[in-house]
Structure 1
Amino acid sequence: MIRGLMLLVLVPLVNHAGARDFTVHRLDSGVPGPTLLVIGGIQGNEPGGFNAAALMVTRYNITRGSVWVVPNLNFESILRRSRGVHGDMNRKFADLPADDPQREKVERVKALIRDGEVDAVLNLHDGSGFYREHHIDSDQSPWRWGQSVIVDKAEMEGHRFGNLESVAREVAARANMRIADHEHFYSVKNTRTDEGDPEMEKTLTWFAVNQGKPAFGVEASKSFGTVRRTDFHLKVLEGFMERMGIGYERDFPGTLEGVEAAIQNDMELALYDRRIRLELANARSRQGYIPLKEGSELEFAADSPLVAVLQEDGSYIVRHGNQELTRLYPQYFEYHEGLDRLGVEVDGRPMEAEFGSVISVDEDFRVEPREGYRVNVIGYISDEEDQAGERIRRGDILPRYSLDRSGRTFRVEVYRDDAFAGMALVRFGGDEPDRPRPLRQARQGDESDDGSGR
């Protein structure tokens, strides 16, 4: 079920095609407590970090204190599955040339870190191998980054969370209690940046520490697929919230299956104030003749801050982070805004359905005729231009016109003369469950992983 398209979040996700700026989401409980700033996606080829941050936005309710989330900091690089289209953004927090294309974004993030309400900062990464204090093999050594909580120094004075290494060890222990395999446990890695490390001195966490803000890096191993990395990140995030005294609830089970379902369920898109709605998790790779508004920039709203719509060669590519979900091929119409719903008889029961809604059908449906309007059920073969009043079963609609790869979900479009009024979806039931497209399981050696760490 679509959950208001992020309307509960303080920063709405209504956006324009091609926009690739990061978003800030302030999850404030209204109950006094600490504020944690969580940043994901500083490097665009680390999907565990940015998916975990996005789920914090869409699936967590903060009951004490506050969590501020930037889930998509380096959004352009996320969408292009690159560590950094304009270079490594996590090396831009010291001196940065005035002509650097990311300077303005970096300065805005710096201002967010310096905000007086922020008590601690987490920077989420996916790192190579498994960090171990002592060398075991090439994949498990002090030179690896995965499965670690990172600090730049052991302690910083003047802050209640300033005993960085101690806090990190406590959080790692909390997370490890939720991890079944001890080989996947988290360890604490102290980079000792304060002793002089030119590379680490350029990082976001070192900048934060120098602003008096306790900061930690969190690394899930790139040896795992995207879903498992996301799961590990959430376990560590919850450990930090518990250690800081931030209350939280989530609306999905804290299991691998629960995490995957939560990510898939956030893949929905609405266009033009929800007159059009598309479900993306199980979408066909191409969607033809989508009725877009003539002479208007494409506006969309999405469940997830990782959803973007990018224009290319007369079509629109819909992405969720580094995944391409579908491609929309438009047909342009004037829009009629004098109607916002349609009357439907579903399995013999009358009801009203708003545009943008999904109508569940077991056997058949029939759209009630309305004077001055006509109905077009995409893929339904009829001699009538107006298909209102006809009783339609799943077998009456050509499967190739379904929005989903299961052949169950179809568009019901309403027009007034030649102007588009709105669309609802009908979804037929059946014996076989829908099978959402599996999340791309990024692993070492593939195009989304350059083998590097923080």
Structure 2
Amino acid sequence: MRVISVLFLVLVTAATAYAGNLDFTLHKLDSGRPGPTILVIGGIQGDEPGGFSAAALLVSHYKINAGAVWVVPNLNFLSIIRSSRGVYGDMNRKFADLDPKDPEYEAVQKIKEIIRDGQVAAVLHLHDGWGYYSPTYVSEWQCQQRWGQSVIIDQETAETARFGNLQELAERAVAAANEHLYEPLHAYHVKNTHTKTRDTETAKEMAKTLTYYAIGQGKPAFGIEGSKNLPPPMRSYYHLRVIESFLTSFGVEYERTFELGAPQVAEALQSNVAVSFFDNKVFLDLRNARERLRYIPLKKDSAVEYRPASPLLALVSAEKSLKVYFGNTNVTQLDPQFMEFDSSLTAVPMEIDGERRVVAFGQAVEVRRQFRVEPSDDYRVNVIGFAKAGLTDEAGVSLVQSELRPEFSVDKGGRIFRVEVYKGEKFCGMILAAFAQEPPRMAAVKANLPRLRKSGALDLGR
């Protein structure tokens, strides 16, 4: 037996979010060693998941070894969960002038303050744009009017304390990314919008943006665009390629927990779809979660406090339930069961595949064959998905996967089940029992059993 531990690198505790009150978060990855501080921002436009997903991976899967990286992965969180460019208009056009009555006024002022912070040496702003930018016309989707697969600068150089050679730094980042393309069409180019001139409609629009505001504050800033013509994980892959090149140029040292490729990026993103409630009393692994999870124990007469494993995960109230969003995706809906909580227990002894372990609440344990919670006079156990007439306490019962009703599992695959522990009628905590997946060959054999039996191939009595 091994305990599956989810590393909560994103230590964000929140009350239940109501649509319109989703604040962005700032995550400071500081090495404690000399080096510049780079601010990375994603999610200003909610329909650009390649950018904000890459920013989230910086928070959860990177370690900074020299210098610092500050990350805002969810600047316009409401627009992210609505998958909208901007619920209240385009936030990236609100940095030159903004009415204090604008619903996003406070958020814009707050990110401006972060940009102006004396520690911030440069800004990287992440986007996804349609098509593939090319300095020469190739086709409708690959030309000067497109934005995808480009590094955006407002001008060739900037009067800043450091890193004012914008064109040179952008060209270096582009060259590095272009050494790792999946196909030539994905090549990056530098796009200079010549914002300061204000002699084109594009330049006039860019004068209202976050990057141009940053340059006006003496902070070199770069826009990084993935292509909306590519799947989101591949966009995030290219974003990270460009970001890493910039960090190297800036003198920031880093390491990551995964090999950098589009499949690995997709896998890394899915590793963080989890949430815990009330100091880990309740933990839910929501990868491949069912559309609705019912009777989730939550504390009575209390705000719903939760800790997401990713800064892209949020809970939003919906009538009498809670919708869980991971970026643009509504991964599940939780129906709470409010009850009294008991804090006298933090763990229970379990026997898993013949091995005894004391398992803390808020953990998922992997089960190959069977598990049971050891009985005690101090608590009773309710395994969601198991029922036996006349049995009110399921502690002491050895359970295998076939004895649990799959429709009550947390996941769609019927593998992960809730083990809830109570003291009297008060809820103590929850553990997830995750049955191991069958090897593909065994699953294929089981799928073919009916056909084999019908054909007589399994009639061993002949």
- TM-score, normalised on structure 2? 0.91
Confirm whether residue 5 of structure 1 aligns to residue 8 of structure 2.
yes
Match of 1:229, SS?
Answer: helix
Contact 1:79/1:319 (CA < 8 Å) preserved in 2? yes
- Identify the match of residue 153 of structure 1 among 133, 152, 155: 155
Contact 1:131/1:146 (CA < 8 Å) preserved in 2? yes
How far off is 1:382 after superposition? 1.6
Confirm whether residue 94 of structure 1 aligns to residue 93 of structure 2.
no
Confirm whether residue 409 of structure 1 aligns to residue 411 of structure 2.
no
Match of 1:44, SS?
Answer: coil
Distance (Å, rounded) in 2 between the aligned partners of 1:187 and 1:227:
20
Match of 2:8, SS?
Answer: helix
Q: Which residue of 2 aligns with 1:199?
A: 205
- Identify the match of residue 359 of structure 2 among 349, 353, 357: 353
Contact 1:2/1:268 (CA < 8 Å) preserved in 2? no
Q: Which residue of 2 aligns with 1:364?
A: 370
Q: Which amino acid aligns with 2:147?
A: W
- Structure whose alpha-carbon radius of gyration is higher: 2
Distance (Å, rounded) in 2 between the aligned partners of 1:432 and 1:402:
20
Match of 2:420, SS?
Answer: strand
Cα displacement string for residues 175-201 of structure 1 (whole angstroms, at most 9, x for unaligned residues): 111224222110000000011132111
How far off is 1:91 after superposition? 0.3
Confirm whether residue 424 of structure 1 aligns to residue 435 of structure 2.
no
Q: Which residue of 1 aligns with 2:124?
A: 122
Cα displacement string for residues 76-95 of structure 1 (whole angstroms, at most 9, x for unaligned residues): 10011110011100000001
Matches within 5 A, 1:160-199: 160-196=162-198, 197-199=203-205
Matches within 5 A, 1:289-438: 289-383=295-389, 384-432=391-439
Q: Which amino acid aligns with 1:108?
A: K
Confirm whether residue 31 of structure 1 aligns to residue 40 of structure 2.
no
Matches within 5 A, 1:206-221: 206-221=212-227
Q: Which residue of 1 aligns with 2:454?
A: none
Cα displacement string for residues 198-222 of structure 1 (whole angstroms, at most 9, x for unaligned residues): 2111000000111111000000011
Unaligned runs of 5+ in 1: 434-454
Q: Which residue of 1 aligns with 2:16?
A: 17
Contact 2:160/2:220 (CA < 8 Å) preserved in 1? no
How far off is 1:313 after superposition? 1.5
Cα displacement string for residues 53-91 of structure 1 (whole angstroms, at most 9, x for unaligned residues): 000000000011110000000011001111001110000
Match of 1:177, SS?
Answer: helix
Q: Which residue of 1 aligns with 2:267?
A: 261
Q: Which residue of 2 aligns with 1:137?
A: 139
- Identify the match of residue 283 of structure 1 among 263, 281, 289: 289
Q: Which residue of 2 aligns with 1:443?
A: none
Q: Which amino acid aligns with 2:191?
A: K
Match of 2:334, SS?
Answer: strand
Distance (Å, rounded) in 1 between the aligned partners of 2:69 and 2:237:
18
Match of 1:218, SS?
Answer: strand
Q: Which amino acid aligns with 1:325?
A: V
Q: Which residue of 2 aligns with 1:250?
A: 256
Q: Which amino acid aligns with 1:32?
A: P
Cα displacement string for residues 241-267 of structure 1 (whole angstroms, at most 9, x for unaligned residues): 111111000001101111011000011
How far off is 1:2 after superposition? 4.2
Contact 2:149/2:187 (CA < 8 Å) preserved in 1? yes
Q: Which residue of 2 aligns with 1:111?
A: 113
- Cα distance change, pair 2–90 in 1 and its aligned pair in 2 (3 A): farther
Please list every run of at least 4 consecutive aligned residues from structure 1 whose deviation after the TM superposition is greater than 3 angstroms: 1-4
Match of 2:180, SS?
Answer: coil
Distance (Å, rounded) in 2 between the aligned partners of 1:116 and 1:372:
55
Match of 1:425, SS?
Answer: strand
Cα displacement string for residues 402-446 of structure 1 (whole angstroms, at most 9, x for unaligned residues): 11111111011011111111110111123157xxxxxxxxxxxxx
Contact 1:359/1:425 (CA < 8 Å) preserved in 2? yes
Identical amino acids, percent of aligned pairs: 47
Cα displacement string for residues 297-329 of structure 1 (whole angstroms, at most 9, x for unaligned residues): 111101100000111011110010100111111
What is the aligned residue count? 429
Unaligned runs of 5+ in 2: 441-462
Match of 2:333, SS?
Answer: strand
Distance (Å, rounded) in 1 between the aligned partners of 2:261 and 2:379:
48
Contact 1:2/1:303 (CA < 8 Å) preserved in 2? no
Match of 1:62, SS?
Answer: strand
Q: Which amino acid aligns with 1:169?
A: E
Contact 2:152/2:192 (CA < 8 Å) preserved in 1? yes
Distance (Å, rounded) in 1 between the aligned partners of 2:417 and 2:160:
60
Q: Which residue of 1 aligns with 2:42?
A: 40
Q: Which residue of 2 aligns with 1:84?
A: 86
- Identify the match of residue 279 of structure 2 among 266, 273, 279: 273
Distance (Å, rounded) in 2 between the aligned partners of 1:71 and 1:141:
29
Q: Which residue of 1 aligns with 2:448?
A: none
